């Protein structure tokens, strides 16, 4: 008799095992010769080596399915643990512009508009993409979805999300609280997008382990960002030197997306936006692409599009 322990610490045990262990009960029926004990975020398996090996292969595929889709049903378990010959089951092979991420509770995250789909295609073809457009056009959301997809598909090891912490240059000292409390309000939109695409517990685990990092732009200085999908949000509020610093952090196996709205620059009037300058400086550089979104890409309240148009006419 042998014994192995299979960790599922990056998963939600309740969803994975099922309410009242409904999914685990299906697994037990498929492997009656094994003793399976669920303890928090792990499964202890006791039995002979041959059956443990078979079990380990099947549970690995089930875990991969859950990580991609974000949910698990007894039918899914039945499929992956069946010994019958069935067509290969691949629920997530999103085409460009189609489903990017299956979030919690069956939520599907897609590129909904023409320019959001262009962002997807551009990111697949270029290592640096600038997504520029007004608020509500899905720039950040689409970028985060691309990063989560890359992480789930194991194309990268880390997601790094950053933005200027304070509009005019990251002067945090006057704010109350410790550093985490000072910067969190400025990074909240990034957290919100992640929670739409990953389980709350998984986001927390990933942040604690460094798989996901959310930090102000100043924290990028001096680093090399490699094997990572890196997003700079609100880049219109980065200065020339800050944006140059950020772009030159890029490692050989990294993807960068820079998002910003050049109509909402909060820097002092004498301080030019690094994003506006980059549009001219980097135009034509191979491997760098610019995608422009507009009012037609707004996915918030229908009035947001009218508001953008009204301000554009002023």
Q: Can you say how many angstroms the Cα of residue 231 is from the centroid of all Cα atoms in its chain?
A: 10
Determine, yes or no, domain membership for 89. Answer: no
Domain boundary among 81, 107, 137: 81
For residues 198 and 243, what is the distance between their CA atoms, to the nearest angstrom? 29
Q: What's the CATH number where 161 sits?
A: 3.40.50.300
* Token pair recorded at residue 234: 């609100």
Q: What is the mean pLDDT of residues 22-44?
A: 86
Does this model's pTM top 0.75? My answer is: no
* Token pair recorded at residue 105: 């509770």
Q: Are residues 68 and 211 in the same domain?
A: no
Rg (CA), the chain: 22
Confidence at residue 202, expressed as pLDDT on a 0 to 100 scale: 87
Judge contact between 207 and 158, C-beta under 8 A: no
Judge contact between 212 and 158, C-beta under 8 A: yes
Domain boundary among 24, 53, 81: 81
How far CA 227 is from CA of 131, 230, 254, in Å, comes to: 21, 9, 5
Determine, yes or no, domain membership for 58. Answer: yes
Strands 228-232 and 255-260: parallel
Q: Tally the C-alpha atoms within 13 A of residue 170's C-alpha that lie toward its C-beta.
A: 19
Determine, yes or no, domain membership for 88. Answer: no
Q: Are residues 151 and 292 in the same domain?
A: yes
Q: Are residues 10 and 69 in the same domain?
A: yes
Q: Are residues 221 and 123 in the same domain?
A: yes
Determine, yes or no, domain membership for 168. Answer: yes
Q: What's the CATH number where 52 sits?
A: 3.30.1370.10
Confidence at residue 87, expressed as pLDDT on a 0 to 100 scale: 42
pLDDT digits (tens, 9 = 90+) for 171-192: 555 555 555 565 667 678 888 8
- In sequence order, which residues have a C-beta less than 8 Å from that of residue 308 and are 6 or more positions away? 134, 135, 136, 294, 295, 298
Judge contact between 282 and 129, C-beta under 8 A: no
Domain boundary among 51, 81, 111: 81
Q: Is the pLDDT at 88 greater than 60, yes or no? A: no
Domain of residue 173 covers 99-313
Place of tokens 């720039």: 139
Confidence at residue 10, expressed as pLDDT on a 0 to 100 scale: 60
Judge contact between 263 and 237, C-beta under 8 A: no
Determine, yes or no, domain membership for 90. Answer: no
Structural domains in the chain (count): 2
Determine, yes or no, domain membership for 249. Answer: yes
Q: Are residues 59 and 112 in the same domain?
A: no
Determine, yes or no, domain membership for 140. Answer: yes
Q: Are residues 181 and 103 in the same domain?
A: yes
What is the CB neighbour count within 10 angstroms for residue 18? 18
Q: Across 49-127, where does the E strand assignment appear?
A: 99-102, 108-110
pLDDT digits (tens, 9 = 90+) for 136-168: 899 999 999 999 999 988 899 999 999 886 544
Strands 212-216 and 158-163: parallel
pLDDT digits (tens, 9 = 90+) for 236-276: 999 999 999 999 999 999 999 999 999 988 888 888 999 99
Q: Are residues 240 and 159 in the same domain?
A: yes
pLDDT digits (tens, 9 = 90+) for 272-304: 999 999 999 999 999 999 999 988 887 666 676
For residues 65 and 69, what is the distance between their CA atoms, to the nearest angstrom? 6
Q: Is the pLDDT at 311 greater than 80, yes or no? A: no
- Among 16-25, 51-60, 271-280, the range with the most confident prediction by mean pLDDT is 271-280
pLDDT-based confidence at residue 232 (cuts at 50, 70, 90) = very high
Judge contact between 76 and 65, C-beta under 8 A: yes
Determine, yes or no, domain membership for 19. Answer: yes
């Amino acid at each position: 008799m042998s014994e192995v322990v299979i960790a599922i610490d990056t998963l939600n045990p309740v969803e994975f095992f099922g309410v009242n262990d409904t999914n685990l009960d299906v697994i037990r029926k498929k492997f009656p010769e094994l003793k399976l004990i669920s303890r928090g975020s792990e499964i202890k398996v006791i039995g002979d080596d041959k059956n443990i090996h078979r079990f380990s292969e099947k549970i690995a595929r089930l875990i991969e399915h859950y990580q991609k889709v974000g949910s698990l049903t007894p039918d899914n378990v039945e499929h992956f643990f069946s010994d019958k010959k069935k067509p290969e089951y691949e629920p997530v092979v999103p085409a460009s512009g189609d489903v990017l991420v299956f979030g919690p509770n069956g939520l599907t995250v897609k590129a909904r508009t023409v320019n959001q789909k262009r962002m997807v295609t551009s990111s697949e073809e270029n290592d640096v993409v600038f997504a520029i457009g007004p608020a509500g056009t899905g720039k950040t959301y689409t970028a985060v979805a691309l990063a989560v997809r890359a992480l789930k598909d194991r194309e990268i090891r880390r997601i790094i999300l950053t933005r200027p912490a304070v509009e005019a240059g990251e002067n945090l000292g006057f704010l109350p609280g410790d550093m985490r409390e000072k910067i969190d309000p400025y990074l909240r939109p990034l957290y919100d997008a992640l929670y739409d695409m990953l389980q709350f517990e998984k986001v927390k685990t990933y942040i604690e382990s460094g798989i996901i990092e959310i930090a102000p732009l100043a924290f990028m200085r001096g680093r090399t960002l490699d094997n990572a999908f890196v997003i700079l949000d609100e880049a219109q509020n980065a200065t020339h030197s800050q944006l140059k610093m950020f772009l030159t952090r890029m490692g050989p196996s990294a993807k960068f997306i820079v998002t910003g709205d050049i109509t909402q620059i909060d820097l002092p009037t004498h301080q030019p936006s690094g994003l506006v300058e980059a549009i001219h400086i980097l135009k034509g550089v191979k491997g760098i692409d610019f995608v422009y979104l507009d009012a037609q890409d707004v996915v918030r309240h229908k009035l947001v599009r009218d508001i953008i148009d009204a301000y554009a006419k002023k």
